[in-house]
């Protein structure tokens, strides 16, 4: 088995420790909460027909006309940062009728304040007071569009 080399930059990211993970998590969860509020706003709720629920064990679920997604949270170590990641996975069925889950969309934030919507190959967002509401609406719509486009 082969493993990637451990670099000084990765070690520096690792050494950000609990404080780094808390900072990244706080940022991504703040954006996540605003996105959920946007989805549930009366005008959007009537158009998008999506509900959000949280189970007693803390699992968040989105349900709407394009199916159901569960939300998972975790951390990723990169060469430059500790990244908090929220992954949206859609419930699908295979040809035999067995259920499986497919990751369709991600929201990420790092300790340096970057926010990325959609996955690793998307540009960082420039969220600031002047455009935050528009950016949050774009993120909310992106999640639902990703659910609607995923069929297999």
* Confidence band for 83, pLDDT divided at 50, 70 and 90: very high
Answer whether residue 128 shows pLDDT above 70: no
pLDDT averaged over the chain? Answer: 90
Tokens 């998972």 — which residue?
72
Q: Where do the structural domains in the chain lie, given as residue ranges?
A: 8-149
Answer whether residue 119 shows pLDDT above 80: no
Answer whether residue 121 shows pLDDT above 80: no
> Where do runs of H (alpha helix) occur along 15-85?
17-40, 42-48
pLDDT for res 94: 93
Closest CA to 80 of 7, 1, 2: 7
pLDDT for res 55: 92
């Amino acid at each position: 088995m082969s493993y990637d080399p451990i670099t000084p930059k990765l070690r520096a990211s690792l050494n950000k420790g609990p404080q780094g993970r808390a900072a990244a998590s706080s940022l991504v969860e703040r954006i996540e909460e605003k996105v959920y509020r946007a989805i549930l706003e009366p005008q959007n709720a009537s158009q998008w027909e999506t509900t959000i629920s949280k189970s007693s064990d803390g699992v968040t679920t989105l349900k709407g006309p394009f199916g159901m997604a569960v939300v998972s949270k975790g951390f990723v170590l990169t060469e430059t940062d500790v990244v908090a990641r929220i992954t949206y996975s859609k419930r699908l069925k295979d040809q035999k009728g067995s259920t499986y889950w497919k990751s369709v969309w991600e929201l990420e934030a790092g300790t340096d304040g970057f926010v990325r919507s959609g996955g690793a190959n998307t540009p960082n967002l420039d969220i600031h007071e002047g455009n935050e509401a528009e950016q949050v609406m774009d993120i909310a719509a992106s999640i639902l569009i990703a659910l609607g486009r995923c069929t297999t």
